[in-house]
Amino acid sequence: MTAVRNLPFDAEFTARNGPAAIDRRSKPSGLTELSAGFLEFTETGATEPWTLPYEEVLYVIEGELTLTHEGTDIVAKTGDLVTLEKGATVVYAGTQGTRLLFSLVPANWLESQE
């Protein structure tokens, strides 16, 4: 396994969360601590509430993201960076075409839920 890689899109590592498509780009990388990928709203809408089992950073590549946490809306626009603490319960909402880069730790959070 090479230590430095360019990771192209791979449909095997995609998922949906309501109106959002998730591209877990770093999934096949072998990283053990850090995970990253893209989230795109393929239609306007909101996810169900989600309690984060990880720490997450979101960068808005384009569009506008609204995060609802404890009854408060946090609006992030193109170029904004948002941090989310482990244990926070949030709803992600966006308009069609809103695209985000996400990074989270630990990388294996999904496997540890099984």
pLDDT digits (tens, 9 = 90+) for 58-77: 999 999 999 999 999 999 99
pLDDT of residue 111: 74
Other Cβ atoms less than 10 A from the Cβ of 76: the count is 19
pLDDT of residue 30: 82
Backbone angles phi, psi at 11, to 5 degrees: -55, -25
Q: What stretches in the chain show pLDDT beneath 70? A: 1, 112-114
What is the DSSP-derived secondary structure letter of residue 106?
Answer: -
Return the HEC string of 23-45: ECCCHHHCCCCCEEEEEEECCCE
pLDDT of residue 113: 67
pLDDT of residue 31: 87
pLDDT of residue 73: 98
pLDDT of residue 1: 59
Cβ within 8 Å of residue 104, ≥6 positions away: 34, 35, 36, 54, 55, 56, 57
pLDDT of residue 101: 98
Q: Which domains does the chain have, with CATH numbers?
A: 34-108 (2.60.120.10)
Q: Which of 109, 104, 84, 110 is nearest to 34 (CA)?
A: 104
